[in-house]
Structure 1
Amino acid sequence: MKHARRNVQRIARFAALGGLVCGGLMVSHAVASETPGGPSAPNAETRAAATGQELVTELGTSRTAGSWIDAEGRPVVAVTDEKAAAEVRDAGAVAKVVKYTMRDLRSATESLKDAPRVAGTSWAMDYTSNQVVVRADSTVSATEWNRMAEVAKSIGATVRMERVDGTFTPRLNGADAMFAGSGRCSAGFNVTNGQADFILTAGHCGPVGTTWFSDQQGERQVGATVSGSFPGGDFSLVRYDAGTALKGADIVAVGNGQGVRITGAADPAVGQRVFRSGSTTGLQSGDVTGLNATVNYPQGTVTGLIETTVCAEPGDSGGPMFADGLALGVTSGGSGDCAKGGTTFFQPVTRALDTLGVKLAADPASAGRSTPSAPAAGGGGAGSTDNGGAVPPGSSSAEPGGAVLPGAMGSVETVPEERADAVTIALDKVAEYKNLGPGLFLIAGSMLALVALRIRSERGRKRYRSQYSQSWG
């Protein structure tokens, strides 16, 4: 009987020691996963976006009607037959069988383009409802609304009409401001063609030849607009003045001296959470609600835009939109403001880079660091966010070797863009404790078990000594 008790105690002791070791490994793994300074894997939304876009490309436009990210963060693909649905499920995504194909939706948008232009209207493909949504702002009269409604009716059930508050206007007047005679805009992303360096910003900010300054007084010249597109597209290049050194060229500032390192470019997915930085309203976030959007601004029609719920105000034009360290777009225009919300449209970065023949600029001080190339438009690619360390000191363009950083002047410290958002900071904290919790719980339980076994063992020894002394004393 005594031997049986000893064997049970021995097994329990080994189990407690094993739990202590396992708990230690769990904690060390959790801490290692939270340690900054090295590249991190793309987050779940970026991976989901890439999965959905790849499946759409593989299955083709006759069997699919877009993809999006659902409320649980899963990639969803709209398909037109059960065979395609089975292929989607086999790939680990969610399939939704719909009536209209991508070809049907594109045909509807082409019919809308051929209709008489009405300023204050927009349309975008809503993959989740399998329709093209036409929106009209407050400037569209009842007569114009009825005319658009007749066009929508003639196209069929692929089109849905909606009224929205506010006015669709370019957000002229941005992340740090650039000033010109036509107003002010934001620097978007630093780009290069291998021979010269540029700022990628919105095309409506100013025509070719516009000279830009980093101050309202016009004393610190940044450069001049050398090419662009507006209307049609909404992007342009501002060439830096000769002698400008791009320090922290791959950083987007998010306020409070902090920034996010941009490692590549991609196209977003419907349902994806995105961030925008601008000089008027700073860092803001929201969701992508539509792709391939067309907006009829008073100044002209722009096509191929990204539709979002991110707010923006005059002065935010040209500012960068990004997520998970990937450049996604530059601010074009929209309706509403950051007090009551609204709709904001963005020029996709991938299309602008391809059209202009440039690529995202890397920080010269980070030579040797791998920077993924921009995926092709529609590829949705994934990149990793480098969260390590501080950006090499930068300065405004008035200083020797200075440069206008996208989103801010001067040096910034890199952080994941999620940490720049107050809500996400709280979520990150919860996640950290969630990762550490099981390991700490296992360590605590194992230590308690060892203490209990030790106490029990000591009591057994005392009882034995007492019996021994009574027998031989």
Structure 2
Amino acid sequence: MKHRRTTRRQAAAAGGAAVALLGAAVTFQSANASDDVERFEVKTLSATAAGNLASSLGERLDATDSAGAYYDAESRTLVVNVVDEEAAETVRRAGGRARVVEHSLAELKSARETLKDRATMPGTSWAVDPVTNKVVVTADRTVQGASWERLTRVVEGLGGKAELKRSAGAFKPFVAGGDAITTGGGRCSLGFNVLRDGRPHFLTAGHCGQAGSTWSAGQGGTPFGTMVDSRFPGDDFALVRYDRDVSRPSAVNLYNGTGQRITRAADAAVGMRVVRSGSTTQVSDGRVTGLDATVNYGDGQIVEGLIQTDVCAEPGDSGGSLFADDAAIGLTSGGSGDCTNGGVTFFQPVTEALAAYGARIG
């Protein structure tokens, strides 16, 4: 039988200094850890391998035992938040670095539900930040007056489980970014070439168009594809079927005369270094800062399950590729700011889109 609550109180009693060290991703051993920790080797991992390990451990750990994970790029290790020593041993056996925290994933998800019920308003987003072990709520510049006061009260009511931040820009889908693709008067970007039922297609953002719309490589160009499905809001991905025989390498344009070959899809991990390619601002890079983010673009356009990053993007970059080395990670959805001042940008996980369409990278 597990004695979770007792173990958790013992871990909390280790003191604030230990928690401070954890926030900096410094090697941590629980007050209850004993010498058994030395029996397990912490694996050195690439960012994508860490993402895969995080997904595997997420299936094995209960939401009341764990609280997310993040990639420590300096040590190249996966740090997994847990609330008791039994879960910590599961992490160590798998090669991860266990970190005992105060709030479980179930508690943080409950905080998200409170935000959804009491603070859903345009110009806001929230995502679990495993580094701080909190739900980070971000309000853009349009959240003012009574809305700001209500949001502040709700976040304060969640105590240490949430914190409130400001974004200088306004959240919006990047309508209007890889290679440019156009339909009618709109421009977006191609995400990744894929195969579905043996036929060539590509992924882009759902908010870029509707099923039945035709797409070309430039304004006024001959259409080469038809959008067969579009999902937005809720999700933000779409599938376009190639109708003509055109060059369609499994690669991302780096806008320097070369391309990055893409051979697979992978899940994101907090702390992972990622690169974005889009037709407006071309190539930018940064880090994943949150997972399973909810963003409210206004006018009822709420999207859930997004990857939150500090990578910049601008209108026209929508649908464009987010990748890490040869792995497809996401499709550009929207955000705030620009590539002069920076901001927050959200991406649709590509693994979800592939699963929905029964497609694969290719």
TM-score interval w.r.t. the shorter chain?
Answer: 0.7 to 0.9
Aligned to 1:111: 114
1:120-164 deviation digits (Å, cap 9, x = unpaired): 100001111111111100011121011112222344431211111
Aligned to 1:68: 70
Aligned to 1:315: 316
Matched residue SS, 2:76: coil
Aligned to 1:462: none
Residue correspondence of structure 1 range 339-358 to structure 2 within 5 A: 339-358=340-359
Match of 2:105 among 102, 105, 110: 102
Displacement after TM superposition at 1:107 (Å): 1.6
Matched residue SS, 2:160: coil
Mapped pair 1:59 → 2:72: no
Name the aligned partner's letter for residue 261 of structure 1: R
Name the aligned partner's letter for residue 328 of structure 1: I
Displacement after TM superposition at 1:95 (Å): 1.7
Name the aligned partner's letter for residue 343 of structure 2: G
Residue correspondence of structure 1 range 66-215 to structure 2 within 5 A: 66-70=68-72, 71-115=74-118, 117-215=120-218
1:285-305 deviation digits (Å, cap 9, x = unpaired): 100000000000024100000
Displacement after TM superposition at 1:45 (Å): 2.2
Match of 1:225 among 186, 205, 227: 227
Name the CA distance, whole Å, in 2 between partners of 1:281 and 1:106.
35
Structure showing greater relative contact order (alpha-carbon pairs closer than 8 Å, 6 or more residues apart): 1
More helix by share: 1
- Number of aligned residues: 317
Q: Which has the larger radius of gyration?
A: 1
Aligned to 2:35: none
Change (3 A) 1:302 1:344: same
1:336-366 deviation digits (Å, cap 9, x = unpaired): 11112111100000111112232222xxxxx
- TM-score of the superposed pair, with normalisation by structure 2: 0.83
Displacement after TM superposition at 1:208 (Å): 1.8
Aligned to 2:18: none
Mapped pair 1:330 → 2:353: no
Name the CA distance, whole Å, in 1 between partners of 2:54 and 2:167.
29
Mapped pair 1:258 → 2:261: no
Mapped contact 1:53–1:67 kept (Cα < 8 A): no
Matched residue SS, 1:204: helix
Name the aligned partner's letter for residue 314 of structure 2: E
Matched residue SS, 1:232: coil
Name the CA distance, whole Å, in 2 between partners of 1:262 and 1:289.
23
1:91-115 deviation digits (Å, cap 9, x = unpaired): 4322211111111111221222223
Displacement after TM superposition at 1:180 (Å): 1.8
Name the CA distance, whole Å, in 1 between partners of 2:359 and 2:327.
16
Name the CA distance, whole Å, in 1 between partners of 2:353 and 2:157.
34
Name the aligned partner's letter for residue 358 of structure 2: G
Matched residue SS, 1:65: strand
Mapped contact 2:45–2:78 kept (Cα < 8 A): no
Mapped contact 1:171–1:315 kept (Cα < 8 A): yes
Name the CA distance, whole Å, in 1 between partners of 2:313 and 2:125.
17
Mapped contact 1:280–1:316 kept (Cα < 8 A): yes
Mapped contact 2:291–2:307 kept (Cα < 8 A): yes
Mapped contact 1:182–1:205 kept (Cα < 8 A): no
Aligned to 2:293: 293
**What stretches of structure 2 of length at least 5 have no aligned partner?**
1-43
Name the CA distance, whole Å, in 2 between partners of 1:343 and 1:76.
23
Mapped contact 1:182–1:206 kept (Cα < 8 A): no
Change (3 A) 1:277 1:340: same
Displacement after TM superposition at 1:247 (Å): 4.2
Mapped contact 2:82–2:88 kept (Cα < 8 A): yes
Name the CA distance, whole Å, in 2 between partners of 1:307 and 1:125.
10
Change (3 A) 1:257 1:65: same
Mapped contact 1:56–1:77 kept (Cα < 8 A): no
Matched residue SS, 1:354: helix
Name the CA distance, whole Å, in 1 between partners of 2:361 and 2:275.
18
4+ runs deviating over 4 angstroms: none
1:441-462 deviation digits (Å, cap 9, x = unpaired): xxxxxxxxxxxxxxxxxxxxxx
1:265-297 deviation digits (Å, cap 9, x = unpaired): 111100000111111111111000000000000
Matched residue SS, 1:255: coil
Mapped contact 2:293–2:308 kept (Cα < 8 A): yes
Name the CA distance, whole Å, in 1 between partners of 2:235 and 2:154.
24
Match of 2:241 among 239, 242, 249: 239
Matched residue SS, 2:60: helix
Aligned to 1:283: 283
**What stretches of structure 1 of length at least 5 have no aligned partner?**
1-41, 362-473
Name the CA distance, whole Å, in 1 between partners of 2:238 and 2:165.
31
1:62-106 deviation digits (Å, cap 9, x = unpaired): 211011012432210101012322343344322211111111111
Name the CA distance, whole Å, in 1 between partners of 2:138 and 2:175.
21
1:191-216 deviation digits (Å, cap 9, x = unpaired): 22225322200011112222222121
Change (3 A) 1:92 1:356: closer
1:361-420 deviation digits (Å, cap 9, x = unpaired): 2xxxxxxxxxxxxxxxxxxxxxxxxxxxxxxxxxxxxxxxxxxxxxxxxxxxxxxxxxxx
Displacement after TM superposition at 1:237 (Å): 1.1
More strand by share: 2
Change (3 A) 1:87 1:215: closer
Name the aligned partner's letter for residue 193 of structure 1: R
Residue correspondence of structure 1 range 12-51 to structure 2 within 5 A: 44-51=46-53
